[in-house]
Each structure stands twice: as structure tokens, then as C-alpha cells.
A and B are shown apart, each in its own frame.
Chain A
Amino acid sequence: MNSEIQQFPPSRHSTVSHEQEHGHSEDAHHQENAHHEPNFWQKYIFSSDHKIIGLQYGITSLAFMWLALMLMLLMRWQIAHPGKPVPIFGPVLASILGQPAAGGVISPDLYNSFGAMHGTMMIFLGIVPLAFAAFGNYVVPLMIGAPDMAFPRVNMASYQAYFLGSLVMFVSFFIPGGAAQAGWTSYSPLATSIPTHGQLFWIIGMVLLITSSLLGAVNFIATIIQLRAPGMTWMRLPFFVWAQFVTAFLLLLAFPPLEAASLMQLMDNVAHTSFFLPTGLAVGGNLAHISGGGSPLLWQHLFWFLGHPEVYVLILPAMGAVCEIIANNTRKPIWGYKSLVYSVLTIGFLSFIVWAHHMYMTGMGTKISTFFQATTMIISIPSVIILTCLFISLWGGSIRFNTPMLFALAFLPMFGIGGLTGLPLGFNLSDVHLHDTYYVIAHFHYVVAPGTIFGLFAGLYYWFPKITGRKMNEFWGRVHFVCSLIFMNIVFMPMFAQGMAGMLRRMSDGGANYSAAMNSRAGADVVGGLSDNMMSLHVWILWAAIALGIAQIPFIINLFWSIKHGEKVGDNPWQATTLEWQAPTPPPHGNFEHVPHVYRGPYEYSVPGHDTDFTPQNEPERPVGSKVSLATAH
């Protein structure tokens, strides 16, 4: 567009000019640094360095995940023992939240709040910021040989928007009426009808969080397109970078429709419009004073247009991390790198046209259901390709079973269970039976909890030495792994059975009102109901969930203890090939001392004839000193 009027023709890119230019600016930078050393606030709070921002995201999101886990434990107590006061935490809750937790008992309203906020926090305040923003920020620029993100100050603004949004969400617990109660999906008109300002806080929080991920997504894509080091061609990108690239596109394009929907729900709340409120809506037995004419289906369409790509936002970064760790610890190239790349791109595209498989029960019509059923079946193909590539990569490797690898290996079957149990939900016929039951809960938790979170744990243990220069304790890492794996499965596996038996989700009494025991008391004309076996599983799940919570304590202690006391290691403790391990540890501001040049693909492990079993991406083809022109490197 501007090539004709271009007054400043781009300088010809050559190795020499690049390095001269670079050397000059680096000097200037050093001088600048000598003048004012950044203080604590500049360095850690208002930093524009991608690594610090990554850590800020990581710490905040881990804190919110812990909080969301606590909410879940309280809910599980209420489900297993409806109406009984919560031991130990009950009085604390009663003193903080007052009436909704009177006597230490979780009221149904409070249960609904906790349910909505558990989902919201885990997804929007926990896993997306951890998987995408924290790992992506810290690792992606290092992996592609960039000095920072393309827009460092936008990056800082992204974290601040996230922090503000999370604060708004958190504060909503303490307002009169409590936090949002309409589930993480916030279906209208339910969300607009519940008399609490929590929903308003939820919407404002979401708008801030969406702004944050928008800024992040723009930054990631621009960084990956523009700041790849010389020689880092697209097919030499580590798979983790590809996964983050696609994730960023999903966030960029799928979040705005939810922002639009949030704005409309905000208008419904504040300006009393009727975007999602149908004519004749009755609230509390009275006809609502609204203009009507709105469409509840509209909210669901807009919500799930985000909601489904969001699932891949959650899973892709974890897949990327698992792929890096598997290649590194099998000491062989990943099997089917190109298949992985094309699969992840296909997933990215298809994830935009499967959303209405969440809506088979809404009465939107069988023709639409059939279309979305077809696309849903198709999207499982690239997912299975990715999983298969990772499984085949294990074949014939001399596998190192360290903590990151254990988590990465566990990811494969766990994600497999989660993914395959999704197929019955994708067929609209079987979904009619399974919709909104515990089966759904089990399915998506298998994808996200032992799937994504295990992938992220693997990543944490794997990249920790790059951040701190020390490894996390291996023994406690294994304890964390084994306990997490066992208890995760005890928590979620029984839910498949409960769901197939017909136990609905979102019931604060865990279905006690629909149990066979209750029905037999009601009289002879009521038969059936949830069996005692199904109901008693709640107690098992409760104790397994508590054990799962306790199993995270060694991890938390390990994480902080290892910062100071972990085993000291060098720049490349895992003998890895990708660029982040070729940078100094911890990487200084600007990451690399010199612009790294990339000469090979990301997974050159055990190359025959090479002295070591790994060949870093920036190791020249010819001995150092001979002239390597950039043209051949491209």
C-alpha cells in the first residue's frame, strides 16, 4: 500500500549492518542503565520486561487457582453433607460472609456463588493467565530468540488489566448479595434476574480480563511474526511457539464476541434493556417490567462462540509444553513435527465452528445440531493426531523419568480420557441423556485438570531452572506427581458413573432430593431415583478432593524453597536444543548477549555423528569462524 510513497526505504538487511546497528544500541543501553538502576517498584511491579510480567502472571494465577481449589473443597463438603456446617472453615466463612454462611453452613445461594466463581476463577483468572500469559510471556520470546515482546508497555498494561479484573472478581464476594450466582456461563435471563450486584462485578471483571487477553494476544502474534531471530523460519519454531501462536489467535478473535455479549448484558443490568430478556419474562412470580423482545439464545450463541475456542486456549499451551518436554526427555526428535503444526492450525480454525454443540438442548433445531455434530466429530481428528504423534515419539526413546517428564507422560492418557469421553457429548442423541450431568463435569475436568494442569505442572518443573538457576526438588516433585495423579482420578472417575446414572450438576445438595432414599420416604407412587451407591460416591470424592488439595502443599513449599535452596544448575540443565536454554540464566534484560542465529530445527536430538546427543538450534552448521551468510541460513 505504501511502497510508492515510501520515503524511507527499508535498509537492506545484512548480517554486518544488523550487528553494527545492534552493537551501537546496546552500548547506549548500558550507559542508560548505569545512570539509574531501577528500584524495586520499577523492577518488579511496573516492569515492562516480558520475564517479570510472566512471573507476575504466574504468581497471581497460581494464587487464584489455589483459591478456586478451596472453593471447590467447600462445595464438595456441601454436596457430600448437605446442610451440615463445614468443619474448621465454617466459622471463618460465617464471620467473613455473614448471612449466606450462617452457622458455618453453606446456603444454596452461596453454593451457587462458589460454583460460578470456581469456574470463572479457574478458567479466566487461573489457567488462561498461567498457560498463555505466564508461560507464553516468559518462554516464547526466549524460544524465538527475541529480546522482549514486540510491545513491552502494552504487555505491562495487559497484566494490569488482568490484575484489576481479578481484583473486581475477588471483591464481589464481599458485597451485599455476594458474588455472581449464574454459573461461569452466566446464562441470561437467569444472570440478570438474580438480585445481586455480583453479576455486575462479574461483567466488569470480564470486560477487563478480555481487554487484558486482547492486549496479550496482539502482542504474542506480533512478537512471533516480527521478532523471530535470523534463521528462525516458521518450520523451525518449537511446537510450543506454534501452540501459543494459535492460542493467541483464538483469544484475539473469540473473546470479542463475549465482550460484545458482556456489554449487552451490562446494558440489560444497568440500562434495563432487553437484549437477552424475552417478552413475558416472569421473575419471582411477577411479570418483569421490561420491554421484552430479547433472545436468551443470543447470549448462549455469543458465549459459546468464545466458550469453545476457550477450551483450546486452555489445552493448546499445555500440549505445547508437553511436546517440548517429551522431545527433550526421550532424546529424539518429535515424531511428525509437521503433522503437529498442521493439526494445531486445523484445530484453531475448526474451533470457531463447533460452538453450538453446547446447545443441543436449547431447541435451536435439529438441522443446526446436525451441522455442529459433524464439525465436532471432525475437530477430534487433529486432536487425536497430536496425541498420536506424542505417543509415537516415545517409541524407542531412552526416556528420562524426571518430574517434568512424569507430568508430561501422565498428560497423555489423562487428556485422552478427557477427549474421548467428549465424543458422546458431541453426538446430539447421546447428549440428550448426558447434558448437564456429572458426566459433563467429569469430561471437561479430565481435559482441564489432569490434562492441562498436569501439562502446566510439567512446564513449571521444566522451566524453573531457567528462571532461577536452580532445579526444584526431585523427590518432592515425584511425591506431588504420584499423589496428584491418584487423587485426581479418584475425584473425577466416579463422576462419569454418577452422570450416566442421571445426577445433574449444579445441585447444592448433590442430588439428595432426587435420591432413591428420599423418594422411598415420599411414598409408594414415587419410584427410582439416584441409588445409595451413587450418592455415597460423594463422600469418596470429598475425601479424595481434600487429599488432592493436601498433595499440592509439597509443590507450593518446593516452589518457594527451591528458589533459594534448590540444586544449582547451569544454563542448560536438561541438555535441550531450543533457544531459551542457550540464553544466560536467569536471562538478563534483553535476554541474549548477541542476536542468536538459528541454523536448524527445534528437535535435533541424538543426531548421528554429533559429539553430544543434542544440537542447539543456534549451533552453526560449519565450524565457528567460517563465514556464514544469512542468506543460506534463511
Chain B
Amino acid sequence: MEIPYTVKPRPDTGIYNAKVGIWLFLASEVMLFGGLFSAYVLLRVGADEGYWPHGWLDVRLGTLNTVLLALSAITTLLAWVACKVGQFGRFKFFHACTIVLALTFLGVKMYEYHDKWIHYEIKLKDGRFADGHMIASDDTSVTIEGRYVTDEKALYDLRSQGPIPRDEIKISRSDILSMENYGPWHNTFLALYFTLTGLHALHILGGTLVIGYLWGPGSRMWKKDPERFTNRIEVSGLFWHFVDLVWIFLFPVLYLT
């Protein structure tokens, strides 16, 4: 006996096996990200007054990434439609677009991570704080592009402050009490930011690898078994749409609030 309904839909359920599988997998993914989002809610509600960051992330870059993923959702759909109507060339074109868009998204994300990585909060011995991007550092001093503040809270709510000054500041190491960059260890918001977007970026990477495989070596199946190949494009597309959808939640939760 062979396994039935691997390609053709089962008459009484109306779908083929892999499609059931991917929907179930997506259900579990909803629970996975649901667990992380509930962590976000609980930790944000429990945060100390005035210490939840606002405006730490660049809304323009976030919007750009949102547009990139929205476009990739469209090209993914069009790639599947192209398979459905038997236009292999169009499929190749649209999924090439998907892959380029996805890689651009990851590139922008890397830039954003790097921006946080070189961003330092420096506690000075005179009680002030220096905050900005590291330009240079040696044994005796560090140079940042940023500003001084006297109240640490001023570093948290950037949205109500207008433009943030970015002056070149040179600080002697002997004046520094402690310094820490904006990594996941810096505070709970950044921990959530790196974990949530990091897991999402891994999903983007995984989806890109699958779509890249189906676009490249995997597309040989088109000649032998176009129906099965089309199913694969549909199933991988469903995953891609889910990953897009997660971003649609991440963007307002992290960038806009």
C-alpha cells in the first residue's frame, strides 16, 4: 500500500496531506509566538513607572521592513498562481523577487541590530550619563556621538523630547563608572526586542532557505510532477504568509508604542 492523498485532496476533507500538516504546524507556531507575546504583555505591565522605553527603534526602518514583507507576501501569492496556471517563467520571476525582498529585510534587520550593538549608555562618576554611538575607543578614552543627561529617565522616553542631539563627546576612561551597550542584557525591552525579532528573523531565514531551494534545485520537480511542485509552493507560501503576519504584530508592539 502506498500513502494516499500526498498530492490529490482527500474527497471528504478537501485537502491534501501536506496542507493539513502545515496548518497544524502554523497552529503550534501561533502558540510559540503567543507565549512570547504574553511574556511581552506581562513584563511591560510589570515594568517600573517611567522605565519602559519609547521611541528606541527607528520607525522609518520598521516601516520599510513592513513594506518589504508585504510585497514579498504578494510575490509569493503570484508565484503560486503562476504555478497554478502553468507559467513556470513567471513563477521563477516572482519567487526571485520574494527571495530578494527577504534578504533585503534581513539586511535592514542586521543594520538595526548593529546600531544597537554600538550604542552605549555610560554611567559617569559625577552622576551624569553619556549616551550615544561609539565612534572610537582606546585605553584612555572613549568617543561617542551622543549627549549627556542628568536624569536616567530621559534616556527612556525619547518620543516626547524632540530631536536628540548627536554631538561628538570624548570621555576619559577614568571618569567612567560603568558602561554597557544596548544588547539584550541592557533591559527588558531590549531583551524582548532581540528575542522576538531574532526568532522572527530565524523564521525569515528558514523560509528563505526553503523558498530558495524550491526556486533553485527543487524546481526540477516542475517537469516531472507539476501538481506536487505547485503544492510545495502553496505550503511554503502558507508558512511565508504566517511569518509576515508575525511581523505585522511585532512592528506596532515594538516600534510604534
Chain A positions near chain B (C-beta within 8 angstroms): 2, 5-8, 10-13, 22, 25-26, 29, 146-148, 150-152, 154, 214, 217-219, 221-222, 225-227, 252-261, 263-264, 267, 271-275, 279, 290-291, 293-295, 297-298, 301-302, 305, 590-595, 634
Contact = CB atoms under 8 A, between A and B. Distances in A.
Nearest to A248: B24
B194 A26 contact: no
Interface string B46-84: 111001000000000000000000000000000001001
Contacts of B39: 260-261, 264, 275, 298, 302
Contact of A256 (B5, B21, B31): B31
Given A271-B183, A273-B191, A274-B191, 7 more contacts: A5-B84, A7-B230, A13-B11, A226-B16, A256-B32, A257-B38, A295-B43
Interface string B6-33: 0011111110111011001101110111
Interface residues of B, number: 53
A538 B188 CA distance: 46
A595 B3 CA distance: 11
The 5 closest A-B pairs by CB, nearest first: A260-B35, A257-B35, A147-B1, A273-B191, A256-B32
Interface in B176-192: 183-188, 191
B32 A257 contact: yes
A405 B24 CA distance: 36
Contacts of B21: 150-151, 154, 218-219, 222
Interface string B34-47: 11101100110011
Nearest to B34: A257
Contacts of A226: 4-5, 10, 13, 16-17, 20
Contact of A294 (B1, B11, B43, B81): B43
B35 A275 contact: no
A29 B2 CA distance: 8
A222 B20 contact: yes
B234 interface: yes
B1 A267 contact: no
Nearest to B46: A295
Given A11-B8, A273-B191, A275-B43, A225 B1 contact: no
Nearest to A149: B3
Interface string B83-105: 01110000000000000000000
B188 A275 contact: yes
A67 B195 CA distance: 36
A87 B3 CA distance: 55
A161 B81 CA distance: 35
B227 interface: yes
Contact of A7 (B11, B20, B84, B186): B84
B199 interface: yes
B199 A293 contact: no
Nearest to B44: A293
A273 B186 CA distance: 7
